Amino acid sequence: MAEKPSYFITTPIYYVNAAPHLGTAYCTMLADVQARYRRAAGYDVKFLTGMDEHGEKVAEAAANHGMTPQEWCDSQAPLFTNLWKELEISNDDFIRTTEPRQQHAVQYLWERMRESGYLYKGSYDGWYCVPEETYFTENQVRKSDEEKGTHGQHLCPDCGRPLERVQEESYFFKLSAFQDKLLKLYDEHPDFVQPDFRMNEVRSFVAGGLQDLSVSRTSFDWGIKVPFDDKHVTYVWFDALLNYATAVGYSDPSRAEEFAYRWPAQLHLVGKDIIRFHCVIWPAMLMAIGEALPEHVFAHGFLTVRNPETGQAEKMSKSRGNAIAPQDVVDLLGVEGYRYYFMTDVIHGEDSAISYERMEQVYNADLANSWGNLVSRTLNMSAKYFDGKTPEVPEGWAGKPGTLHGIAEGIEGRYAKCMERLDYAGAKDVVMELVHAANHFIEDSAPWAVAKDPARKDELADIILSLLESIRICAHLFEPFMPSTSTEVLRRLGLEDEASTDDLAGACVWGGIHGGVPVAKGEALFPRLNTKKAAK
Ligand code: MSP
């Protein structure tokens, strides 16, 4: 296997009850930025995403469309894969839980669970929320009814939709046996759950006591059969969580080496609504079958939109009718602007209100007026004053102190610290500091005036080289956010070979610019948005 350290990163696998929306795309993009950053930082990355195809919710969606569940899933798959392609998502694998590899792995899991002694047969009598594919006990429902004043309506404590009464034979996973082990895990690995405040939430949930979990269903059949009892199909989450291990070879003897290299995952990225599945049930399942635990789970918040009537921020969702389709944002900002806005203007652990006004503001201020403008002014000046080329680089130039050189010093280290903890806004600020400084430097050094005096040619070359070099470094640092723009900027500088580096620290050392090579001026990277278009 490769000499580079492995970095295995995952998104949740998405239910195929409806087309992907902005929230789904947001989580996938968050993971993509991290995957791209880690590749550049020298890791051997595996980036996994996919679709969660079993369960009642998907079976219902299929029935509503007059299709078999499999036909329905097959018809939805391209909506996901095409959107990921359009949004420049660089996943290395796309898993579907109806694939034979998952079928095999889940059945293998059942056998291991049976051997572990943490599985028993019983009967489930309680409540079930189909949209959330989650069980709720009588107590949980009653408590929530009391809090919300919804007596007798049997609504989901989480999403508020009507619950289904389920009474059926079921296999149970002895989750209750893992309380102490889980608390020990949280104590020993305080960064297992990120951001920090989510850890407190998970810990107090577990400290409050755990119920055994019903992990098979007998009242419908859209799922993976339990190998030793084929009346039962696997509970959709018991199936879905295993996808992470399946994708790197779990249960496949011919991929044992790969599994040993890739597992455990370094990072599971999930929304805050599914944190308990990932931070409680999943580690307990892995403990039961004796497999290593993932290193980190990062829970992001929801994208919200302001309700114009109440003024309140609400979770964006299809059922509320406030969902924005990814295509609408692409049409407005382009893919690069879309990625930049959602990745750098949203604080990822928290809920974030998004608006078209803010999108336009950020796009115009950061991309059109600052980054795009810097690139076009600098390339134009280089071409104009140096015969269509970059200036020759004088001997020892890289070692000379200078304003921009000073700001670029150590920039990659500061940026990396932010990227590693998914503080993408912080990472962007580090890069924008250099972009802004470079734009000010143009005003302060007034190259157009220097160019008038042939005796100041060396000074002019120094100014332009400093600007080009700053652009080169910023292009590298912006790559995870705006991959095509960075590739294009490096191409215009005659450095296309540099675009996919696996040594970001090396690439950001001052002095990498090539002298005397033709520059391509090209079209504006980020034409200014006009307000009317955005308002529409
Ligand atoms: N299938 C399960 C995950 C199984 S992982 C082993 C599932 N699917 S989902 O399609 O309902 O949601 C997938 C992810 O999308 C969740 O992490 C959820 O938080 C995220 N989002 C859905 N709406 C969202 C927003 N409005 N904002 C941000 N993310 C949200 O759960």
CA of 51 to the centre of ligand 1 (A): 11
Report residue 80 as tokens. 């996901």
25 CA to middle of ligand 1, Å?
A: 10
Distance, CA of 85 to CA of 35 (rounded, Å): 15
Q: Measured in angstroms, how far is the CA atom of residue 474 from the centroid of ligand 1?
A: 32
176 token code pair: 């209750």
Helix (H) or strand (E) holding 11: strand 6-15
**Strand ranges of the sheet holding 229-234, from the earlier edge strand across to the other edge:** 216-217, 229-234, 225-226
136-148 core/surface letters (b: 16 or more CB in 10 A; e: else)? beeebbeebbeee
Closest residue by Cα to atom 16, ligand 1, is 271
Q: Give, using CA atoms, the residue closest to atom 30 of ligand 1.
A: 23
pLDDT at 140: 86
Residue nearest to atom 5 of ligand 1 (CA): 12
Instruction: Identify which of 76, 98, 269, 273 to mutate to test ligand 1's pocket (most ligand atoms within 8 A of the CB).
Output: 273
Omega cis (within 30) before 190: no
The terminus-to-terminus CA distance of the chain in angstroms comes to: 52
How far is 307 from 136, CA to CA, in rounded Å?
30
Q: How far is the CA of 345 from the centre of ligand 1 (A)?
A: 20
Q: How many beta carbons lie within 10 A of that of residue 458, not counting itself?
A: 11
Q: pLDDT value at position 314?
A: 83
Pocket of ligand 1 (CB under 6 A): 12-15, 23-24, 26-27, 52, 240-241, 243, 270-271, 273-274, 302-303, 315-317
Nearest CA to ligand 1 atom 12: 14
What is the distance in A from the centroid of ligand 1 to the CA of 497? Answer: 37
Q: Report the nearest-CA residue for atom 29 of ligand 1.
A: 23
- The predicted pLDDT at position 318 comes to 65
pLDDT at 509: 97
The residue to which tokens 């000073």 are assigned: 406
- Which residue has the least CA distance to atom 17 on ligand 1? 271
Q: How many whole angstroms from 23 Cα to the centroid of ligand 1?
A: 7
CA nearest 479: which of 536, 407, 415, 533?
A: 415
Q: How many angstroms separate the CA atoms of 371 and 473, rounded? A: 12
Please give the Cα distance from 181 to 187 (Å, whole number): 10
| Residues shown for the chain | 536
Strand pairing category for 267-271 and 225-226: unpaired
Taking phi over 0 as left and psi of -120 to 50 as alpha, with beta for the rest, 470 belongs to alpha
Residue with tokens 């002095």: 511
CA of 12 to the centre of ligand 1 (A): 7
Q: Would you state the pLDDT for residue 517?
A: 96
Question: Which of 16, 24, 94, 237 is the pocket-test mutation for ligand 1 (most atoms within 8 Å of CB)?
Answer: 24
Q: What are phi and psi of 163, to 5 degrees?
A: -95, 160
Interval between CA 493 and ligand 1 midpoint (Å)? 40
Cα-Cα-Cα-Cα torsion 95, 96, 97, 101, nearest 10 degrees, comes to -60
Q: Tens of pLDDT along 202-231? A: 999 999 999 999 999 999 899 999 999 999
What distances in angstroms separate CA 472 from CA 188, 209, 415, 454, one per listed residue?
42, 54, 15, 27
257: exposed, middle or buried (Cβ count in 10 Å: 0-12, 13-18, 19+):
exposed
List of the chain residues with pLDDT < 70: 1-2, 318-319, 531-536
State residue 313's pLDDT score: 86
281, 302, 354: residue to mutate for ligand 1 pocket, most atoms within 8 A of CB: 302
> Are 313 and 352 contacting, i.e. CB atoms less than 8 angstroms apart?
no
Q: Which atom of ligand 1 is nearest to the CA of 316?
A: 26
- Protein residue with least CA distance to atom 8, ligand 1: 14
Q: How far is the CA of 26 from the centre of ligand 1 (A)?
A: 10
